[in-house]
Structure 1
Amino acid sequence: MTHTADRIIQRNAVQVLGDREKPVLMFGHGYGCGQTMWHRVIQPFLETHCVVLFDYVGSGRSDLSAYDRSRYDSLHGYATDVVEVIDSLGLSGITFVGHSVSGMIGALAAIERPDAFAQLVLVGASPRYVDDPTEYAGGFSREDVDQLLDAIDSNYLGWAESMAPALMGTPDRPELADELHSHFAGTNVDVAKQFARVTFLSDMRRYLPLVTTPTLIVQSPNDFIAPLPVGEYLRDHLAGSELKVLEFNGHYAHVSSPDELVSCIASVA
């Protein structure tokens, strides 16, 4: 591995688990989280797949000194990082499992390097969070998003504490919301503020027709971040895609319903 490849692996705190000769499963985490959020899902695949985990710069155990506000002022910067990790490891035939914003990051990476990807699995992904009254229901008005961003800007840690239970959607299992909150609280605040704007103000709809990788869309019937019409929109605008609606609440299938998600991933990986 070259010095540049070593730097990329360190930058994104990349872990490679299992046999590199086996089919590759690469997991991308969502906003305010890190690779350890996948711990309930990866175990069943360690003997059958090469599992690749990483953290986006500013999240988890990534190298914060590598954070560049101009590079990460759009989802394209994060997608470039994913491609660089893939090239540094010499990966191909990848099933990329992307939660939330990672779904669109993975889609952008697959557009850039379609030869490296065999399958996308988008978990609670959204190409646009803001409603377009003429043709698209994203789940939020622009006023809603502005208020959310103002709350993050003014008191990120307070926002994280109050929102974790609602996002997790498991009031009977408060320990899961506590786990999510701990991830939010461990994210660099300045990065979290910019990443929130990049995430919630993005519009990836025009890129969907460029995705040629087969895609499985995994949705909850009760997820206010990515409501069901968003999954249906993705299905209708991603060629060769399939929508699977699981029986769980909230935005985090890999935390609240890992067995169901494992079955979904195994069906295509």
Structure 2
Amino acid sequence: MTYQEAVKNGEKVLNLAGIADAKVDAWLLFEMACKVDRQFYYLHMGEDITMEQQKEYEIVLKKRTEHIPLQYIVGEQEFMGLKFKVNSSVLIPRQDTETLVEEALKKIQPDMKVLDMCTGSGCIIISIIKNVPSAEGYAVDISKQALNVAKENAKSNEVPVNFERSDLFDNVTGVYDVIVSNPPYIPTAEIPKLMPEVGSFEPLEALDGKEDGLFFYRKIVAECGSHLKDGGYLLFEIGCEQANDVTTMLRETGFYEVQVVKDLAGLDRVVIGRK
């Protein structure tokens, strides 16, 4: 089997399994399994792949046909121009979340203290501190496994962040200029309806926002007061239908300058409030 035939066969296998981006995924898995880049491929596409390469490719193709997310198979995802390690202990960073980082960067000044609540892979706080190196980055998560991934990502991206295991604010100390959070916000009943790559493989505790999806917003808004400076900002990523509920929550708690920011798809994605 030639390199070209292997890639075409991989695409066919993924198409039959109902994988949406079969062509892209077939190539990326081929590139990883066979340890080749596009330049090599186009120079050698008519040559036979080795038995070892074919075996490795078949292994990763099988994983993808089971709807294991591509990023978990490859082991990384790009976010804000940086590379982040990902595994089944953390949510896969998504482009939508870059809107949260971009809005936070508009608020953060040098030497400010920034807290990332429910940090997961660490992609939010690491991206922020990478862009504002003099700011102090702090991050918490209830999952020890997620924090281990986040620490690796901070190290690989050469960003200093203080990580702490905490159930929301339970183990948080200090006062911050900015608090950012992408908390679990999928209503429990909606999780079985998610595409299998998400609902069956990404960590449930990072998805499940309880009955109405708003549980963690309520908790964070109610508990952040003693940890957010007067005049400080609280920024949330939200589900696209949650803007009204979350903005009302902030206003009723005394936040002002409350605003909603849309993502690149034109969907409500970030809510900002000032204490």
Please classify the TM superposition score into its range, dividing by the shorter chain length. Answer: 0.3 to 0.5
Q: Which has the higher contact order (CA 8 A, sep 6+)?
A: 1
Normalising by structure 1, we get a TM-score of 0.37
TM-score for the superposition, normalised by structure 2: 0.37
Instruction: Flag the structure with larger Rg.
Output: 2
**Structure with greater strand percent:** 2
